[in-house]
Structure 1
Amino acid sequence: MERYSSDMNEKAELSLLIKALREDRLRKMKEKLGNALLTETDSFEWATSKDFNIEVGRYQIEAYIKTWEIRFCWVCSVNFLRTSQEDDFMIYFYEARFMAPTARKPISDRVSVYFAAEVSKTEAETLPVEVRFILESRRLVHTPGRSRFCEKWLTDITETKALLQRMMDL
């Protein structure tokens, strides 16, 4: 039953990522039409569309996560989930699972952060891929370079899970 519940959350979070990418694409198209395209510099260099593949995406997400200011107690693994074709774009989905094992609890609660990398099939191949991420059970979609990751987000989710587990044990 737990796996089914997790699958439902995953589908909801991945659909939120797709929606955010679509909205961002529409916003960019409107800006181009109005000749007001503003580029934001991102301190992290993402691969270009022509250089992107599943392994490059996984490697880059791992490298991006290493730029986050989180304690070393957090262990992370990044796994490829699937792809989705959207118009002239291919979207690659990844899941980064975080755990903070301790001596008392070597298998701690996991926190998933879902990533979506949008690769254009028609635009210039030199453009970097668009990346977004969302934390499990949250609604806010983050953009690398525009939002700063906060370790508290991970601890809040683990504390919420622990509280829910205690409530269910009563």
Structure 2
Amino acid sequence: MERDLPGTNEPAELTLLIKSLRFERQLKEELETPPASMMDRTVWGLCRDFTIRGGHFKIEAYIKTWDIQPVWVYNVDYFGLERDKDCKIHLYRALFMAPTAGKPIGDRVSIYFAMEISKTELEAPVEVRFILESRRLIHTPGRSKFKKKQSLR
């Protein structure tokens, strides 16, 4: 079930993720040998094996590695698809909430994930980035770590 993103209503965070992945792809194409920092990534599977449902489960498994307080509950949803000439960028949103008895809706924060799937290099690893709502810093799995002292906001 692929669907294109409606370009006018996408959150600014998704636009940043897409631009980041496009920039990095262009940089890789211009360099004969990418810097080690671009090759040292957590492998989320190969492009040939990617499925939307599999991406969903990998995000959930990744979130479970975070050291966050158990009061935060979350749900991961598929957000849409951005098509490029040589790749597809699948977008997800993890919505975190901290409900309490007095405030059942509680605090909420979204974390947006982008998974880039190459159409031409099927043996390439899936590229993943994520960004917290209302932030501008783009995170790469394996390089960013959440700790108990940090809140999601």
Q: TM-score, normalised by structure 1?
A: 0.77
The one-letter code matched in structure 2 to 1:50 is: R
Superposed displacement of residue 86, structure 1: 1.3
- Percent identity over the alignment? 52
Superposed displacement of residue 153, structure 1: 4.3
5+ residue gaps in structure 2? 1-7
Aligned residues: 143
Does the Cα contact within 8 Å between 2:41 and 2:141 map onto a contact in 1? no
Higher relative contact order (CA 8 A, sep 6+): 2
Superposed displacement of residue 109, structure 1: 2.0
Tell me what 2:21 maps to: 21
State the SS of the aligned residue for 1:122. Answer: coil
Distance across 2 between alignment mates of 1:86 and 1:107? 37
Which of 99, 121, 128 pairs up with 1:101? 99
5+ residue gaps in structure 1? 1-6, 158-170
The Cα offsets for residues 32-60 of structure 1, whole Å up to 9 and x where unpaired, read as x1x35422143xx4121111111011111
The one-letter code matched in structure 2 to 1:20 is: S
The Cα offsets for residues 16-45 of structure 1, whole Å up to 9 and x where unpaired, read as 0011101211222233x1x35422143xx4
The Cα offsets for residues 127-153 of structure 1, whole Å up to 9 and x where unpaired, read as 220000011111111111122234524
Distance across 2 between alignment mates of 1:87 and 1:146? 28
State the SS of the aligned residue for 2:129. Answer: strand
State the SS of the aligned residue for 1:17. Answer: helix
Tell me what 1:113 maps to: 111
Looking at secondary structure, tell me which structure has more helix per residue: 1
The Cα offsets for residues 43-78 of structure 1, whole Å up to 9 and x where unpaired, read as xx4121111111011111001100111111110100
The one-letter code matched in structure 1 to 2:139 is: H
Pairwise mapping of residues 52-63 of structure 1 onto structure 2 (< 5 A)? 52-63=50-61
Tell me what 1:146 maps to: 143
Does the Cα contact within 8 Å between 2:83 and 2:89 map onto a contact in 1? yes
Tell me what 1:133 maps to: 130
The one-letter code matched in structure 1 to 2:88 is: M
Does the Cα contact within 8 Å between 2:111 and 2:132 map onto a contact in 1? yes
RMSD of aligned Cα (Å) = 1.8
